[in-house]
Structure 1
Amino acid sequence: MAFVLGINAYHGDAAACLIQDGKLIAAAEEERFRRIKHWAGFPSEAIRYCLDEAGIKLDQVDHVAINRDPKANIWKKLSFTLAKRPDFGLVRDRIKNAREWASIEEELGRAFPGERFRGQVHNIEHHMAHLASAFLVSPFEEAVAVSVDGFGDFASAAWGVGRGSEITVEDKVYFPHSLGIFYQALTQYLGFPHYGDEYKVMGLAPYGQPRYMDEMRRIVALQDDGSFRLNLDYFRHHKEKVEYEWENGIPAVGRLFTPALEELLGKARDKSDELTQKHKDIARSVQAMYEEAFFHLLNTLHRRHGLDAVTLAGGCAMNSVANGKVYRNTPFKKVYIQSAAGDAGGAIGAAFVVWHQVSQDPARFVMDHAYWGPQFSDDAVGELVAGKQQALADERCSVERVQDEAELCRRTAQAIAEGKVVGWFQGRMEWGPRALGNRSIVCDPRRADMKDILNLKIKRRESFRPFAPSILREAVPAWFETDDDVPFMMQVYQIREDKRPEIPAVTHVDGSGRLQTVYADTNPRYHRLIKSFEELTGVPIVLNTSFNENEPVVCRPMEALDCFLRTKMDVLVLGDTFISRREAAEGTEPAGSEANADAADGMADTGTYAGGRTRRVVP
């Protein structure tokens, strides 16, 4: 029996996974345990979870695989330093970072006192780890493999071909040119300064028009070989020290753009400034420029290799809008993107590279679901609820254990159909940033006001950001302009025009939706819930958003219950335990009604909630 521990560390989205004899058995991001978004540093708690899930100690791990190799691309690094002579602070930070990566054994010793790691540490080049994180767990025996991100090991992109259990890297884009840096810099320019805010620009883009493409093409230039180059006049990262910090585990990146960008596009937006139509048009132009470069690369690779399948990885592979246009804008017929396409996923890629190297086993593992995190028993839920009786009584909640799954799903579907906001906590936690039906908030997609209700009651996020539809796999072609498998919510497709009025809560302004296809064999309970909703309403879709309130997605039942109690969520389903806020007094408006929404928007909350049948109230 052989174990390989994969790690992404000292960077945003620190994570760990564990492979046993070539099969993934556990994977989780550190943020879920630390409760700090995008937590950066050493993922000790994620490692601890993986070992506990396998029932082993550190000394039973044979190999540790890390998704970075300080020795990779060394000649490119030296030639750049000698030719460009960047700020000393930039060089010093890179040396310091490399030293931190060299102390993995020491980190393991601190995290697991009294235990000893006896295995071997392997450094896997950053983009090889990305490429492997998609291709080596895909269903394809042969595919073009592409990785695009900010930077890792002095490169921002890599591509090649995967065959069997091997990947041949054909070429790369090296520092300082990067599509990820382009998107991140323009995200900062638009007034979204936090690490990981790029998805906000993607969500804002459909509200604008691509009126700034001439300016975008002055920033990014496409090359004949399929690659791209930045006009470095608009960027700081190649010549100055740009702060990258993770104090207390919170990653923060300094300003990436120069004053020249403001000369080109006008004054940068402050995060507190109003979003104008100009900002929306720039967002649309940024997205369009990214897509132009992305599809230029993919089309070049298809002409070169003539393969039907492509696997995508790297932080830029989180751009679900572009991913959903691959079939429309390239000749590729099959796409695979795993659920943690960004740096967290590099832990899995590194681990599988090492596994195939040391085992010489050509057999491939296929990741067809994302449920690799912690799970909790109904007994643990029962103990938690018993300890929270007073808090539940104060909130006028009823608590029932419903062990018949059909009845549990029917009752939950009924609550959704009544317009209630439901926390749905089941099984193993999802791997990656998306809630995929085990740590989800689910609502009725038919209600045009549901997006506003969610933002008022729980999410408290920008109004332009869409919510996603989870749909029964068998119903996809009737509702979307595709028949693709999208298990990880990584692609956006157009909703059929005649269906859009039926599901306004998950239909974006441009008629699209970032769908998740739900399968009976990989998540039977979530599939059954949606099927129950379809039987009640005729709609095989629920609105699905992450179970959190401006924090990482909940991991443990305690966090789910705390989120329920401090927000205006109506129902919480913890495994078999059904918790609901008691029905409103007769004559009051239900939760989410216009009257209550107005009250929540600017006046004292009424404290009333939509009712169902009378149930036992916690004493």
Structure 2
Amino acid sequence: MNLLGVYIGLHDSNVALSVDGRVRYAKSERLTGIKHHRSALSFVREMCERWGVTRLDGIAFSDGDRNGLGACKLGELWKKVSPVAELGSAPTYCVDHHYAHILSTWPVADTAELELGFAIDGRGDNEARKTVIARPGARNPELVHHNATRSFGRLLERIGELMKLSATPGNESDLAGKVMGAQAYGEVDQDFVRSVDVEALGERLYDFTDKVPWRGRVPIETPDFFQFDNPSFRDWLSTVHALLAAHTQAHFARFARPDMAIAYAGGCAQNVVINQELFLRYPRLVVPPHGYDGGLSLGCLELLRIQLGLPRFSTEGFPYWQEDDCEDAPTESTIAQAVELLAQGKIVGWFQGRGEVGPRALGNRSIFMDPRQHDGKDRLNFRVKHRETWRPYGATVLLERTPEWFDLAEESRYMLRSVPTRPERQREIPAIVHQDGTCRVQTVGRDAPTSARRLVERFQQHTGLPMLLNTSLNAGGSPIFATRAQCRDFFAAVDMDALFMGNEVLVRQG
């Protein structure tokens, strides 16, 4: 049976296909090289042709009528609709934006076992910013909560604009992630936090920049306030972010118990600081690596599976499903060569296998570096990444040795939480320890379907260190690279020491 999930939307267009339970996925930005690319139905048809699909047995889309395909009304989570002419005559379903977000968690959880699903993002269908759904994996789920108050992601984006941070046109949503890294550099004003009703915060979110005084003056009216070098701004940002975390916790606590099986998705589910607090309170919480709009086609696929009463899809190879394969796997000789360079302090690009689903590099489209170098973060910023100095880098760590270095006793496969580094270890790995002593950790177990596991194992054998600094293989303002040609152009343009593409190796001389 051939099932198709489609999201065109306003940005991050993607399509997913299931052929008898095996899933393929493509995101148009990887094929065009344009970050957050918005495609058209021609992209969907192109992918179906590339995948050799001539017959579809079911189609589901989430559109919110952004492209004229249709939308669910307030209170509708899904509905059967007339076929979309450009996609053929197969039975067709329209899926609510936030419901598709929640259903997209199926590669990391059995949706039939979920008791609640939370979605929080900039704007879903019917102006929703927050949605809560009970029994999301059932054929008749229950809409528990729909809220149109303001999004904390949009607030962080607004702060980024006031800081005059750079973002290519159409990529303004990236500003929230840039601001998130800066919040670790200030001190939280607990008296200010106690003065705010966090449960009622949603309607007042934007007031923090434009109306609410901070130390006697409204921020927007204070000259040069929104500057990272301003200590008062850093304290304000840390305090506002603490309020956003408390507001999110209060929202979850209103509907969920700590023992419940919960899914959380939407753009705001990319905030690793708030995620960490949620994971600690809700041990059965699941968050997918593709929780933003780039995963909506997967949620649409799951709606089809549920309504048609089919078995669970295969998750083999997840999250390395992006349609941009690098054909040859690295040999042991190739890995040994990379390890030798890494141990010398070199910056190494790693383009292997299929690309990751989601915005984070998880070992197949990565830049790696030895995290023991005290100037490592600055060198990487200056020579290759050219990004804001306050933004941290993550780490790929062998699962079995993670507790020795971080306050983390379970898996963190998708780099979705910011965890404390053990104090006695922080000086040993300065390039990945953030200002607040935390690190975004990706654990790789022995069954991880990525060559990064073998690379870190060999690096450990060579140096004794069970981890590498990991950041995405891309240039500022571009998506993660999908082709060898893109990687070669990048290597020629920046001062990266080596690039490994399968077993093809480029090493900078001199």
TM range (shorter): 0.7 to 0.9
Query: Which residue does the alignment assign to 2:487?
Result: 560
| Matching residue of 1:222 | 199
1:199 to 149, 165, 177: 177
Range with bigger deviation, 261-270 or 6-15:
261-270
Q: Separation in 1 of the partners of 2:259 and 2:433?
A: 33
CA 1:231–1:325 in 2, change beyond 3 Å: closer, same or farther? closer
* 1:481-496 map, 5 Å: 481-496=407-422
Q: Which residue identity is paired with 1:36?
A: I
Q: Which residue of 2 aligns with 1:245?
A: none
Deviation at 1:375, TM superposition (A): 4.1
Task: Encode CA deviations 1:119-144: one digit per residue, 9 max, x unaligned.
Answer: 23321011111111125751572343
Match of 1:292 in 2: 246
Q: How does 1:423-572 map to 2 (within 5 A)?
A: 423-550=349-476, 551-572=478-499
Alignment of 1:27-42 (within 5 A): 27-42=25-40
Residues 217/195 of structure 1: CA separation in 2 closer, same or farther (3 Å cut):
farther
- Aligned partner of 2:236 among 282, 303, 313: 282
User: Compared with structure 1, are the counterparts of its residues 39 and 512 closer, same or farther at alpha carbon in structure 2 (3 Å cutoff)?
Assistant: same
Match in the other structure for 1:301: 255
- C-alpha separation in 2, matches of 1:315 and 1:233: 18
Change in Cα spacing, 1:428 to 1:377, as seen in structure 2 (3 Å) is closer
1:470 partner letter: T
Q: Does 1:7 align with 2:6?
A: yes
Pairing partner for 1:130 from 101, 113, 137:
101
The DSSP-based 3-state class of the residue aligned with 2:234 is helix
Measured in 2, the distance between the counterparts of 1:448 and 1:477 equals 22
Q: Which segment drifts farther, 285-294 or 417-426?
A: 285-294
Q: TM-score normalized by structure 2?
A: 0.87
**1:353 alignment counterpart:** 303
Q: Which moved more, 1:129-138 or 1:437-446?
A: 129-138
Which amino acid is the alignment partner of residue 10 of structure 2? H
Where in structure 2 are the equivalents of 1:23-62 lying within 5 Å? 23=22, 25-42=23-40, 44-45=42-43, 48-49=46-47, 51-52=49-50, 54-57=51-54, 60-62=55-57
Q: What percentage of residue pairs aligned between the two structures are identical?
A: 27
Q: Distance in 1 between matches of 2:284 and 2:48?
A: 32
Question: Partner of 1:149 in structure 2?
Answer: 121
Corresponding position of 1:389: none
Note if 1:338 corresponds to 2:335.
Answer: no
- 1:159 match: 132
Residues 408, 353 of structure 1: CA spacing in aligned structure 2 closer, same or farther, 3 A cutoff?
A: same
How big is the shift at 1:515? Answer: 0.6
1:68–1:342 Cα change, 3 Å:
same
Displaced runs of 4 or more, over 6 A: 259-263, 268-272
CA drift of 1:378 comes to 5.0
CA displacement, residues 245-277 of structure 1 (integer Å, 9 cap, x when unaligned):
xxxxxxxxxxxx767789732437889966422
CA spacing shift, 1:563–1:361, aligned 2, 3 Å = same
Q: Which moves more between the two structures, 340-349 or 14-23?
A: 14-23
Kindly provide the amino acid, as one letter, of the partner of residue 311 in structure 1: A
1:17-416 to 2 correspondences below 5 Å: 17-23=16-22, 25-42=23-40, 44-45=42-43, 48-49=46-47, 51-52=49-50, 54-57=51-54, 60-70=55-65, 71-74=71-74, 105=84, 108=86, 117-135=88-106, 137-139=108-110, 141-154=113-126, 155-162=128-135, 165-166=138-139, 168-192=141-165, 194-211=172-189, 214=192, 221-223=198-200, 229-231=202-204, 234=207, 264-267=218-221, 275-303=229-257, 307-328=259-280, 330=281, 332-357=282-307, 359-361=308-310, 363=312, 365-366=314-315, 369-376=318-325, 378=327, 405-416=331-342
**CA spacing shift, 1:530–1:291, aligned 2, 3 Å:** same
Residue 411 of structure 2 aligns to a residue whose secondary structure is coil
C-alpha separation in 2, matches of 1:216 and 1:44: 52
- In the TM superposition, what is the alpha-carbon distance from 1:302 to its structure 2 partner? 2.9
CA contact (8 A) 2:397 2:443 kept: yes
Contact 1:8 1:43 (8 Å CA) reproduced: no
What amino acid sits opposite 2:2 in the alignment? F
The residue number in structure 1 matching 2:68 is: none
Matched AA of 2:116? V
Specify the alignment match of 2:508 in structure 1: 581
Between the aligned partners of 1:546 and 1:233, the Cα distance in structure 2 is 31
CA distance in 1, matches of 2:269, 2:471: 20
Q: Distance in 2 between matches of 1:258 and 1:437?
A: 41
The answer to whether the 8 Å contact 1:191/1:269 transfers is no
Q: Which runs of 5+ in 1 are unaligned?
A: 77-101, 109-115, 236-256, 380-402, 585-619
Counterpart of 1:48, as a letter, is E
Three-state SS of the structure 2 residue aligned to 1:514 is strand
The whole-number CA distance in structure 2 between the counterparts of 1:324 and 1:496 is 16
Cα–Cα, structure 1 residues 167 and 32, in superposed 2: closer, same or farther, change >3 Å?
farther
Aligned residues: 491
Q: Deviations over 1:139-182 (max 9, x none)?
A: 57234321111111121111133375557334223324433334
The Cα offsets for residues 6-25 of structure 1, whole Å up to 9 and x where unpaired, read as: 222232222221122344x2
